[in-house]
Structures are given as structure tokens and as C-alpha cells.
């Protein structure tokens, strides 16, 4: 498989009022096409920063961040982002929020009818055709997040970057959206990088779990391959010993190997 | 955001609560409308009684003070005078004797021009100050120095430069109403959530789209707050400015009636100025509500 995103010795340092903060250190990561990566680690370890580097919202201080062999300079429509707080524009309807991105990516090549069709298809994909003309403050948190995903997917990105997309949702809605995301990813064969702090979510969705050590100067502690067969079913997995084995490996990393530095 | 969301949610809840209160179907078809009417009436009374009481208390106090004071006319006398005055608001007997309608319209016209110019310049300037830190740092000392200056202090400069009373009073309105529009717009631009700007970057929107789809709608509520404050100030200032410059206008009219010792008319003018200020403010609040999506 082709190496789609490649991070080579990436370092990130922020200059703050208290001096330079070394956020990420020596990150080496290759993401293949069609794979689902999750980034997991304790709060403040720089998971989101790492995602932002791939998104192009944040520049690496040192090292190279490549996408399709070219250096990542700023955001681009081939790397769509789903934000934690959905970031829908409150003055636009769900339809218009999605259309904004569609128009930008395909507007020069395609006619209005085709753009409309794409927008409606994206809404349909996340099961929100009925909420087309609603504004974000008229729909629930889970629906907002689905519109955010639809907006990202409608741009037909080569990679979908998700920053704790379900973090602000209640457990039932979260489970429901995880199932939907699995279906969508399987149907579109998307490449996904997702930041999460939820171990079950990481194991359920991922092909690879990238576990980060604690900051400052966080780096990749271990990359775990999740070789559970797809499609996955959360109920069946509950009794799968291999699932529990992988899950306990992640827990062990987070709570045995990485807990002490945080407490100290 | 949550406040609006809750009120939107609350309406269907009220509707769903009502039906269980009708156990016997035959009776309820008779009782329900009556019941609702009573509810509405009670609601309306609850809403109207406190302000009415306040106004009555105010009038009573006024009447009491007027009785004890030699020259101050009471509510009844003022009311009689107002009926006469508003019977023919648009008469015209030369430049120094025109109906109250003309005086009000002239004042509104001056406010409109001065305030309109201030909006035309202040709002774009506010956008630029909010967007470019350099410009903000450059203008900050001048704005902080000039903003607290009493509006009427600008009148002599206006008379000096513009030579005439009319443009000078417009100038005073302009200079005193421009600050809240600049400052509120600039604050609004600075407070556009980083998330929205990130969306713009990820979607790779053009500068024009960023402005029309993100910056402008995000800043609009702040702009309207600035506009509301500005029109309040403009209306406050026009009365004082016209007292000094003369001509047709509600401010000069007050001064003129003082010279005629027609105290009833002065009191009427106070009410007129208050009511128009209130209407301007409420109108803008109404507009601001229409453009609020949070």
C-alpha cells in the first residue's frame, strides 16, 4: 500500500509567555491509504497538535510533514477536518454549511445541479436529509457532529482528520455515531486519522492505534495493530478475547507506563 | 446560544402539557377555549399591571410636586396643552414658528445624516482595526484620547470649519456617534471564534467568501450593538446641539419655549424626545434579534 501521509522526525515547539514549550518530539509516522488510525494519549500530550500538523493548521518546527510526497503547507481540501465542537456556521442551514465546502472544491468544474446533488448525497450519507433546511441551533449535538462529518466527506477528501469528534456527546449517541462512521468508512474506503481519549472507541474503529507518551516532548510510544476482522460489531466484540487482549494492551500503556510521569 | 435554543424547545412542551388537562372529551371542547382565553387574559394582565402602576405612580408624584410648586404645570394642564399642540403638528409660520412635527423631523434628519456618515466610515474602519493589529495599535491612542470628549466640545470646531450652524450640528452627531461603532465592530472582529476561521482555512475559502460567509455574519451582532449605542448618543446630543445652534429642531424648540416661558411645551418636548429615543432603540433591538443566530 502507498504511503499517503508521512511524518519524518517532526518536532513542535510553542513559544509561550513562560518560554519555549516543547510539545512534540521526534514523531515518525506513515499512514497508508485506506487505513483507520487513532491517536490516543493523556490530555495535553499533543494528540490534537499532531492532527493539526497533518491538517496543515499547525506547522512543524523541525522535521518534514509530507502528504503524497509533497510538503504540507497549510490546509487543503484533500485533508478534511471534523472538529471536536463541530464548528458549523450558526447562520447557515445544514445544507449551506455543507454546500460551502462542496462549492469550493468542485465549483470550478461542475454545474450547480451537480453541486446540489453532492450536498444532498452527503446529507443522506449521514442520515440527515430531513434536517436540510435546519440551522445548527435547531438540531441536537449528535446531529451537528453528523453534519460536520458530512461537510468533510462531501469534499471527497483523500484523508479524513477527526479531532475527538464524539468527545462532547453522550455515550449512547457516541456509540450510534461510531457505528455509522464504521459503515461510512467501509463504504467510501476512507483514510482516517482520529484523535480520541476513549480506549474502546480506538479499539473498535482502528486499524492502527498510535499511542503517545506524556508531554512535554511527547513522542510515539507504541503503534498497535488492531487485527480484528471487519465489519466489527460491538456486541460480538464484547465477548471476543482478542478484543480484550488489545484493549488491555492500550490500557496498560496508558495507565501503567504513562501514568507515573503525569503524577510526578 | 442555549437561551434561544431553550425558548425554541419550550414552545412545543407547553402544547404537549395542555392536552392531559382535559379528561372528559365532551366538556373540554366547551371549556378549553374559555380556559385558554382566561389564561391569556391573566398573562396579559400580569405583563401590563406593573408598568401601568409605575406610570400611575410617576404621574401622581408629578401632580403632587406640581401642586406644591408655583410654575410647574401638572399632568392635566400638560395634557390639555399637548392636545392643542398635536392637533396641528405641521403648520408653518416662517422659520421661527413651525409645528412640532417639523421640529421632530428636522432633528431626525440631522441625526440621520450625522449618524449615517458615522456608520459609513466607522463600521469599515472598525473592521480594519479589528483585523489588523498594526492599525489597532496605531489608532488606539487617538481613539482613547478623543472618545471621552464631551460631544458639545466639538461644536466650536464644527462652526469654525464649516461656517454654518446646520452642518456643525451634523458634525457633532457624527463625531460623537462614530466611537461606539468603531469600537464594537473592532471587538466583534477580534472575537470571531478561531473555530470559524479554522473552518475557513480547511475549506480553503476565498477572501470574499470568508468575509461574506464568516466574518460579516459573525460580527453583525456586535456591529448592531455599536449602532444601537451610537443612535442613543446621537439622539441625546442633538437636543443639546440644537439648543446652541438654533434653527428648526426639537432642541431649539425647547429653548424657544423656555424663552416664551411655556413650561407645558418643555415637558411635552421631554416626553417626545424620550419616546422617539425609545422607539429608535427598540427598532434596532428588533433588527439585532433578527440577525442573531447564537
Q: What is the pLDDT of residues B11-41, one digit of tens each?
A: 443 444 444 444 444 444 445 566 778 888 8
Residues 206-235 on B with a CB inside 8 Å of A are: 206, 209, 213-214, 217-218
B62–A contact, CB cutoff 8 A: no
Helix A141-154 / helix A112-125 crossing angle, nearest 10 deg: 140
What is the pLDDT, as a whole number, of residue B57? 95
Can you tell me whether residue B11 is helix, strand or coil? helix
What is the pLDDT, as a whole number, of residue B27? 44
Q: What is the mean pLDDT of residues A23-45?
A: 88
Can you tell me whether residue B148 is helix, strand or coil? coil
What is the pLDDT, as a whole number, of residue A2? 59
In SS3 terms, chain A reads as CCEEEEEEEEEEEEEECCEEEEEEEEEEEEEECCCEEEEECCCCCCHHHHHHHHHCCCCCCEEEEEECCEECCCCCCCEEEECCCCCCCCCCCHHHHHHHHHHHHHCCCCCHHHHHHHHHHHHHHCCCHHHCCCCHHHCCHHHHHHHHHHHHHHCCCCEEEEECCCCCCCHHHHHHHHHHHHHHHHHHCCEEEEEECCHHHHHHHCCEEEEECCCCCECEEEEEECCCCCCCCHHHHCCCHHHHHHHHHHHHHHHHHCHHHHHC
What is the pLDDT, as a whole number, of residue B61? 93
Determine which helix (DSSP H) or strand (DSSP E) holds B29, and give its type and residue range: helix B25-68
What is the pLDDT, as a whole number, of residue B294? 57
pLDDT at B156 > cutoff 80: yes
Looking at the DSSP bridge assignments, the partners of residue A14 are: A21
Residue B220's closest CA among A135, A84, A89? A89
Q: What is the mean pLDDT of residues B237-266?
A: 88
The Cα–Cα gap between A124 and B27 comes to 47
Question: Which chain A residue is nearest to residue B294, measuring alpha carbons?
Answer: A90
What is the pLDDT, as a whole number, of residue B33? 60
pLDDT at A245 > cutoff 80: yes
Whether residue A224 contacts residue A209, with contact meaning beta carbons closer than 8 Å, is answered with: yes
The Cα–Cα gap between A197 and A167 comes to 8
pLDDT at B179 > cutoff 90: yes
pLDDT at A63 > cutoff 90: no
Q: In the CATH hierarchy, which top-level class contains the domain B85-290?
A: mainly alpha
pLDDT at B6 > cutoff 90: no
What is the pLDDT, as a whole number, of residue A60? 87
Whether residue A210 contacts residue A179, with contact meaning beta carbons closer than 8 Å, is answered with: no
Which CATH number among 3.40.50.10470, 3.30.40.230, 3.40.50.300, 3.40.800.10 corresponds to the domain A3-78+157-263? 3.40.50.300
Q: Among partner residues B196, B204, B213, which is closest to A75 by beta-carbon distance? A: B204
Return the residue in B199, B209, B214, B221 with the most chain A beta carbons within 10 A, the one to mutate for interface testing. B199
Residue A203's closest CA among A187, A172, A182? A182
Q: Rounded to 5 degrees, what angle do the CA atoms A78, A1, A234 make?
A: 80
Which grid cell is A19?
518560554
The Cα–Cα gap between B128 and B121 comes to 11
Please give, rounded to a whole number of angstroms, the shortest distance from the CA of B17 to a CA of chain A.
21
The Cα–Cα gap between B37 and B28 comes to 14
pLDDT grade for B138, boundaries at 50, 70 and 90: very high
Q: Among partner residues A55, A87, A137, which is closest to B1 by beta-carbon distance? A: A137
Strand order in the sheet with A159-163: A79-82, A159-163, A191-196, A36-40, A208-212, A220-225
Contact at CB, B204 and A85, closer than 8 angstroms? no
A205–B contact, CB cutoff 8 A: no
Residue A27's closest CA among A69, A60, A52? A60
Task: With a threshold of 0.90, tell me whether the complex ipTM lies above it.
Answer: no
Higher pLDDT, A260 or B40: B40
Reported pTM: 0.72
pLDDT grade for A101, boundaries at 50, 70 and 90: confident
Contact at CB, A155 and B203, closer than 8 angstroms? yes
Chain region(s) in chain B for CATH 1.10.3720.10? 85-290
What is the pLDDT, as a whole number, of residue A230? 82
Amino acid at each position: 500500500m502507498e504511503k499517503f501521509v508521512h511524518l519524518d522526525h517532526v518536532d513542535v515547539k510553542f513559544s509561550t509567555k513562560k518560554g519555549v514549550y516543547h510539545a512534540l518530539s521526534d514523531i515518525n509516522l506513515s499512514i497508508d491509504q485506506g487505513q483507520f488510525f487513532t491517536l490516543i494519549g493523556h490530555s495535553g500530550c499533543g494528540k490534537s497538535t499532531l492532527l493539526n500538523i497533518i491538517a496543515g493548521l499547525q506547522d512543524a518546527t523541525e522535521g518534514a510533514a509530507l502528504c503524497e510526497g509533497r510538503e504540507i503547507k497549510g490546509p487543503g481540501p484533500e485533508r478534511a477536518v471534523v472538529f471536536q465542537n463541530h464548528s458549523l456556521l450558526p447562520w447557515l442551514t445544514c445544507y449551506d454549511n455543507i454546500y460551502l465546502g462542496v462549492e469550493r472544491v468542485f465549483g470550478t468544474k461542475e454545474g450547480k445541479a451537480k453541486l446540489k446533488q453532492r450536498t444532498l448525497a452527503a446529507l443522506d450519507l449521514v442520515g440527515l436529509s430531513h434536517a436540510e433546511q435546519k440551522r445548527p441551533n435547531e438540531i441536537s449535538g449528535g446531529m451537528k457532529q453528523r453534519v460536520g462529518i458530512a461537510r468533510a466527506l462531501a469534499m471527497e477528501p483523500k484523508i479524513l482528520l477527526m479531532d475527538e469528534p464524539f468527545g462532547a456527546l453522550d455515550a449512547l449517541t457516541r456509540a450510534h455515531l461510531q457505528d455509522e462512521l464504521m459503515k461510512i468508512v467501509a463504504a467510501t474506503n476512507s483514510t482516517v486519522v482520529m484523535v480520541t481519549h476513549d480506549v474502546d472507541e480506538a479499539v473498535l474503529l482502528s486499524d492502527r492505534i498510535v499511542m503517545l507518551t506524556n508531554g512535554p516532548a511527547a513522542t510515539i510510544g507504541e503503534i498497535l495493530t488492531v487485527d480484528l476482522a471487519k465489519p466489527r460489531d460491538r456486541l460480538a466484540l464484547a465477548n471476543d478475547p482478542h478484543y480484550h487482549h488489545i484493549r488491555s494492551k492500550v490500557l496498560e500503556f496508558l495507565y501503567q507506563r504513562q501514568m507515573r510521569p503525569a503524577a510526578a | 446560544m442555549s437561551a434561544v435554543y431553550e425558548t425554541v424547545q419550550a414552545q412545543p412542551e407547553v402544547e404537549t402539557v395542555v392536552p392531559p388537562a382535559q379528561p372528559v372529551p365532551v366538556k373540554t371542547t366547551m371549556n378549553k377555549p374559555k380556559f385558554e382565553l382566561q389564561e391569556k387574559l391573566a398573562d396579559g394582565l400580569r405583563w401590563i399591571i406593573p408598568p401601568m402602576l409605575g406610570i400611575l405612580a410617576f404621574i401622581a408624584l408629578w401632580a403632587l410636586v406640581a401642586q406644591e410648586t408655583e410654575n410647574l404645570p401638572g399632568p392635566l394642564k400638560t395634557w390639555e396643552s399637548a392636545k392643542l399642540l398635536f392637533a396641528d403638528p405641521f403648520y408653518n409660520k416662517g422659520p421661527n414658528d413651525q409645528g412640532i412635527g417639523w421640529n421632530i423631523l428636522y432633528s431626525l434628519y440631522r441625526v440621520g445624516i450625522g449618524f449615517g456618515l458615522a456608520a459609513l466610515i466607522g463600521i469599515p474602519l472598525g473592521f480594519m482595526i479589528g483585523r489588523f493589529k498594526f492599525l489597532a495599535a496605531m489608532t488606539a491612542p487617538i481613539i482613547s484620547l478623543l472618545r471621552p470628549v464631551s460631544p458639545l466640545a466639538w461644536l466650536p470646531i464644527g462652526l469654525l470649519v464649516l461656517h454654518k450652524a446646520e452642518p456643525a450640528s451634523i458634525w457633532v452627531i457624527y463625531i460623537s456617534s462614530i466611537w461606539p461603532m468603531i469600537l464594537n465592530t473592532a471587538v466583534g472582529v477580534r472575537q470571531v471564534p478561531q473555530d470559524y476561521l479554522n473552518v475557513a482555512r480547511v475549506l480553503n475559502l476565498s477572501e470574499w467568501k470568508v468575509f461574506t460567509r464568516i466574518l460579516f455574519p459573525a460580527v453583525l451582532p456586535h456591529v448592531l450593538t455599536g449602532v444601537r449605542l451610537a443612535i442613543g448618543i446621537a439622539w441625546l446630543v442633538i437636543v443639546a446641539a440644537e439648543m446652541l445652534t438654533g434653527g428648526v429642531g426639537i432642541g431649539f424648540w425647547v429653548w424657544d419655549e423656555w424663552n416664551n416661558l411655556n413650561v407645558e411645551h418643555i415637558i411635552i418636548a421631554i416626553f417626545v424626545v424620550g419616546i422617539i429615543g425609545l422607539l429608535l432603540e427598540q427598532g434596532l433591538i428588533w433588527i439585532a434579534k433578527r440577525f442573531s443566530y447564537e
